[in-house]
Amino acid sequence: MAQETRGWNDFDAGAILFSFNKDSNVNNIANTLPENRAYSQSNSYTASVADWRVEKPVFNRDFCIDCQFCWIYCPDMSIVSRNEKMVGVDYDHCKGCGICVDVCPTNPKSLLMFEEKKSENDALANWPKKESKKDKENK
């Protein structure tokens, strides 16, 4: 049977939306990768919630030191990391806030903001060079 879709104003005040399907095992959820969790239809993980983003972070593996700062600080859990290695950005949930770029410590940065419509290849081709101490002082 197709699941009923309701608007936000169809719910009574105080209604509870469950994050996981009723029959899912949630006891070990912290150790289950997000893509393997039985999220319910009312959980925002199941939808793209980033279509209003105007800029996006692009990841450049060439400079990344896998410090995981971006993963820790992202307020939307949109940095994908596996076995302590930065993998990329979950663009269905990233809101384009730029915090991951701010906290990235490498020179040049391993994450940079680009216009939403720019392709990843174009972004990587336009990556800045390493900044010297002098360049930084003159800023």
Nearer to ligand SF4, 37 or 95 (CB): 95
Nearer to ligand SF4, 38 or 80 (CB): 80
Q: Which of 23, 72, 17, 13 is nearest to 45 (CA)?
A: 17
Q: How deeply is 98 buried, as exposed, middle or buried, from its count of CB atoms within 10 A (0-12, 13-18, 19+)?
A: middle
Tokens at 101, concatenated: 């770029």
Contacts of 105 (CB under 8 A, 6+ apart): 65, 67, 69
Q: How far is the CB of 37 from ligand SF4 (least distance, A)?
A: 19
Q: Write the single-letter amino acid at 32.
A: T
Nearer to ligand SF4, 97 or 124 (CB): 97
Q: Write the single-letter amino acid at 5.
A: T
Nearer to ligand SF4, 6 or 61 (CB): 61
Q: How far is the CB of 72 from ligand SF4 (least distance, A)?
A: 9
Q: How far is the CB of 1 from ligand SF4 (least distance, A)?
A: 35
Q: Which residues bind ligand SF4 (CB under 6 A)?
A: 57, 64-70, 74, 76, 78-79, 86, 89, 94-100, 103-104, 106, 110-111
